[in-house]
Amino acid sequence: MTSNPTSAEIKTIFNNIAPMYDQLNQWISLGQHHIWKQMTVKWCEASVGDRALDLCCGSGDLTTLLAKRVAPTGEAIGIDFAPSQLAIAKEKATLNNPKLPLKWVEGDVLNLPFESNYFDCATMGYGLRNVTDIAQSLKEIQRVLKKGAKGAILDFHRPKEIYLQAFQQWYFDRVVVPMAKKFNLTEEYAYLHPSIERFPTGEEQVKMAYNAGFSKAIHYPITGGMMGVLVVEK
Residue 163 forms part of a structural domain: yes
Q: How many domains does the chain have?
A: 1
Q: How far is CA 130 from the centre of its chain?
A: 9
Predicted confidence at residue 1, as pLDDT, reads: 44
Predicted confidence at residue 124, as pLDDT, reads: 98
Residue 1 forms part of a structural domain: no
Predicted confidence at residue 189, as pLDDT, reads: 72
Residue 139 forms part of a structural domain: yes
Residue 2 forms part of a structural domain: no
Residue 74: give its domain's CATH number: 3.40.50.150
Segments forming the whole domain that contains residue 222: 7-233
Model pTM score: 0.90
Residue 192 has pLDDT above 90, yes or no: no
Which H helix or E strand runs over 124?
strand 119-125
